[in-house]
Amino acid sequence: MQLVFASNNKNKIKEIQILLPSTIQLLSLEDIGCFEEIPETENTIEGNAMQKANYVTEKYGFNCFADDTGLEVESLNGEPGVFSARYAGEQKDANDNMDKLLANLKDKPNRNAQFKTVICLNLDGEQHLFKGIIKGQIIEKKVGTNGFGYDPIFVAEGYDKTFAELTLEEKSRISHRGLAVKQLVDFLR
């Protein structure tokens, strides 16, 4: 089976490919000739995932899935949430985003946070949603060089390493995206 993953984020594509069975051939946006920036203008993570999947299905005619992910910090009323990628501005710079988040948490004792991923699958004219959530804490400084986004400042519950200290395989098994992809794979089987 061929499925388009509505992303050109090479890190996300690698993370998801590891979790898919060999019977599913993953195509990127680049593979189908989609080079434009897909809009993400909804005010929820679910809405953005649906918007991206619908864009590919309607414009290119492929079965596809799209994800949207947000980091939700309890003491910041769920920020950065849907704005996680551009928290510090449209340049979408991970270091700027982490610096802004750490500054906003400077004097806050509650550092509880969760990553939430929603995957929207458009398959044969039907739409399905899958959600993965991992709870944890935001630490006070960046640690680790693996991963991307907020990984260097997020430690999942039950772990003592940041996502950026875990291997891609370790992170994929426990992460929000990994949990949502597992539901997707179970559904496709």
Point out the residues that are catalytic: 68
Integer Cα distance of 184 and 140 in angstroms: 34
Integer Cα distance of 2 and 23 in angstroms: 9
15 with 172: CB under 8 angstroms?
A: yes
Looking only at Cα atoms, what is the longest distance across the chain?
50
Q: What SS3 class is residue 147?
A: coil
Angle ∠(60,179,63) on CA atoms, nearest 5: 15
Q: Produce one character per residue of 68-95: b if its CB has 16 or more CB atoms within 10 Å, e if not.
A: bbbbbbbbbeebbbbebbebbeeeeebe
